[in-house]
Amino acid sequence: MLYFSTLILSFAAGSVSTQASNPLQKYTISAPGISATFIPYGARLTNLYVNDKNGNPQDVVLGYDDAADYVRNDETVHTYFGPIVGRYANRIKNGTFTVQGVTSHTPENDNMGHDTLHGGKLGYDQRNWTVVSANSTSVTFSLLDQAFEGFPGNVITFATYTVSAGPRWTSRLVSIPLDEPTPIMLANHVYWNLGAFVDEAGSTVLNNTLQMPYAARYVEIDNIEVPTGAIGTTKGTFLDFTSPKQIGRDIESAINNCGYNCTGYDNAFILDRPRYSSPESTDLSQLTLSSNSTGIQLDIYTNQQSLQIYTCDNTNGTIPVKRSQQLADKTTFVEKYGCIVIETQQWIDGVNHAEWGQDAYQIYTVDSEPAVVFAQYDFSVLGA
């Protein structure tokens, strides 16, 4: 904790270099085979280029060309394209939780007022983060959360994004409570399409191959996607991705799986690492995703114990893709199943389920370890 305490004191005293920048200013970092662009608004990833099977760079994340469109989106449909979500990612039932005998209430901004989603009405995704440091391969943002949205106490978070040869993108989110006990669960909310819309097959993720070898369990949810408290097993169901399979193979069986009258995936998969590993180990790939259209493959390593997988079940062809992703002869839009969101996080609504034993990974105090979300995204080309 000494390093983090020193960093906080230095930050408060102004001895760490900070840049009061335009929240929509773009910061691009690059390394051999990879280039990524971020903006301070939401500490948000806007572009990520890696090479396809033909050696051509492809932008494999969704978003906008004009950074101001992220603000417009948040004021209307609020899609959460590419930011950090928090102070508590995913859903909190009834916007209510109790920590050490103190009950807190957060805005119920989802499902007509039945739960809190991604930190409330004005979460971390809509905050203007400070640029602490930036160079050619790394950028660090910070955010001082002063009891935002009814969460208890003040929390400071540092988000460091780095690219390196591999190619690899590494995300490190470090959150430190400054006074009161509080739940903290952050996540990167990136919309991926490894097919990069290069052809018709690449315009959805249905032909993508997905494997989560350690996701033999999942959190069961009700028809508004709030956990019931039950833990299910994926074996033999449409939720079984422990072996590689195309996302579209069983998706038509996922009826009401992503909410009432919704067909698709929007599930919290539990990561049960093998016994020679450990619950927070980053030594094994927890997810592998690939597209035949581009030949691009993604492997994700993380210290988190859950992956929320959302297959863009509600996108409806009204949002155009970026210019770099447009097919040559027509305007391409994001259709249903046109992307996949992969959130590395702890168990959804674990703050309200003491029986799951998640408190050590979700409740933090001034004398605890910091909350750390580590995610490493390794890219390769199929057959290479």
Q: Would you name the residues annotated as active-site residues?
A: 189, 343
Number of helices and strands in the chain (H, E): 3, 27
Strands 217-221 and 168-177: unpaired
Give the H/E segment covering residue 10.
helix 2-13
DSSP assignment letter at 147: S
Instruction: Tell me the CA distances in angstroms from 323 to 21, 126, 197, 244, 293, one per residue in order.
Output: 26, 24, 11, 32, 18
Tell me which DSSP letter residue 314 carries. Answer: T
Residue that has been written with the tokens 């995936």 in this structure: 265
Alpha-carbon gap, residue 95 to 169, rounded angstroms: 33
- Identify any residues that bridge with 56 across adjacent strands, giving them in sequence order: none
Residue with the two structure tokens 């390394």: 31
- Name residue 298's beta-bridge partners: 289, 379
CB 306 within 8 A of CB 347: yes
Joined tokens for residue 234 = 């994926």
Separation of alpha carbons 345 and 90, rounded Å: 9
Which residue's structure tokens are 């305007």? 331
**Eight-state DSSP code of residue 244:** -
Q: Which helix (H) or strand (E) holds 72?
A: helix 68-74
CA distance 96 to 104: 6
Structural contact between residues 139 and 127, judged by C-beta atoms closer than 8 angstroms: no
What is the DSSP annotation of 194-224?
TTTTSSSGGGSSTT-EEE-TT--EEEEE-TT
As beta bridge partners, residue 161 has 139, 171
